[in-house]
Structure 1
Amino acid sequence: MKLKNNLVQTAIKFGLLGALMIIIGLLVLFYLGKHPLLLNPLLDARWMLFGLFIFFSIKSLRDDNGGFLHLWEGLALGFLVYLIMAQMAAAFIAVFASIDATHFLADYIRIAMEQINANREALIANNIDEKTLTDALEILPTTTANNLAFDYFLKSMPIGLILTLILSILMRRKEEI
């Protein structure tokens, strides 16, 4: 029972610390004038932050377990860490975007509409039809803070899963027989 308890404690510790770092990153980007939810997905800080916190949480559990780590332990720990990080960041986005004084939601809608209009020809050239663009422009003004939070949470899941699989496989160690 000690391993399960240690696994959960490690997940909570690294998940909350990682969530704090994501929230700080979101705030820094937003107040520097770059809306954090409209960045290129390859430049998204979640890749680096999820990777770092999943890696260090798995390493911590492995070190606490005498240098041994089964694949399932790494997978479970990584899943819990990125789930906590994504949930806390999404909750922050929901609250922060719902505060009108921050203009987080209004800026998101405005910038997204500007990007669609500015890149209309390029988007159409990339097989996105005119109706899809028109529908997106009509739907964007109805976006809510919860929509942004849920979208952020859902987009975090594949990032965390990919990194958890890779890091769990690379860091597993079995006991010698």
Structure 2
Amino acid sequence: MKSIIAYFNKPILKLSLLFGLVTGILVFIFFLGLYAIGIVPLGNNKVLDFGIHVIMIAGACWYYRKKVGNGLLHLWEGLTIGYVVNTIGALIAGWLIYFFVTYIDPQVFTDYLTQMKSLMMAGRTELVKNIGQAEFLRMYNDVGTMQRSEIVMDEVSKKTVMAIIPILVISLIFRKQDYGVYQNKR
């Protein structure tokens, strides 16, 4: 048990988990804000919450470099921080949204499915031209059979794909290494 506690007692992991927790909560607050002003908070309207992820990943890298790394941050540390913050934030937001649409207001999920179907029907001619009639009908039927439990993994998978380039860029921007080999230290 002590080895497990020692493993999780690393500053890079503790900091990333904390920033990920805050990210998930902020994304859920964004979801609630959309819900409060009467916008369907799932789907296309929710994409803007990725900005919260980017800001929190940059903040975590900056904080780690300043407070833990004493001005240094290796690329692998930035990548680790970015992916942990992003994944934990997406998991927490996904579960909070799942509980909301399951126990508080199931109508949000129903409205989301209706909106997805109408969007697909609006772009039907383009979709059929690109993927074919059979594939379009399969996708359309899959939207109708979507379960609330798919929200969590949908959130994680979308955020993971969306975060690849921003995490790399943020890690490169905040990267600063000690190049002691090239310096004359006497």
The 5 Å alignment of 1:57-136 reads 57-64=60-67, 65-99=69-103, 101-125=105-129, 127-136=130-139
Match of 2:18 among 9, 13, 19: 13
Unaligned runs of 5+ in 1: none
The residue number in structure 2 matching 1:162 is 165
- Structure 1 position 101, deviation (Å): 3.3
SS of corresponding position for 2:105: helix
In 2, the alpha carbon distance for the partners of 1:7 and 1:100 equals: 36
The residue number in structure 1 matching 2:33 is 28
- Structure 1 position 138, deviation (Å): 2.1
Report the count of equivalent residues. 172
Corresponding letter in the other structure for 1:135:
R
Check conservation: 1:51, 1:163, Cα contact below 8 A: yes
In 2, the alpha carbon distance for the partners of 1:132 and 1:112 equals: 16
TM score, norm. by length of structure 1: 0.86
- Structure 1 position 54, deviation (Å): 0.6
- Tell which structure's C-alpha radius of gyration is larger: 2
Higher relative contact order (CA 8 A, sep 6+): 1
Corresponding letter in the other structure for 2:25:
L
Check conservation: 2:41, 2:108, Cα contact below 8 A: no
Root-mean-square deviation (CA, aligned residues, Å) is 2.1
Query: Aligned residues: percent identity?
Result: 24
SS of corresponding position for 2:53: helix
Unaligned runs of 5+ in 2: 1-5, 181-186
- Structure 1 position 100, deviation (Å): 6.6
Corresponding letter in the other structure for 2:165:
I
SS of corresponding position for 1:99: helix
SS of corresponding position for 1:69: coil
In 1, the alpha carbon distance for the partners of 2:165 and 2:49 equals: 12
In 2, the alpha carbon distance for the partners of 1:32 and 1:117 equals: 26
The residue number in structure 1 matching 2:183 is none
In 1, the alpha carbon distance for the partners of 2:161 and 2:143 equals: 24
- Structure 1 position 22, deviation (Å): 0.5
Cα deviation digits, residues 88-126 of structure 1 (max 9, x gap)? 01111222222373412211111111212232223334x
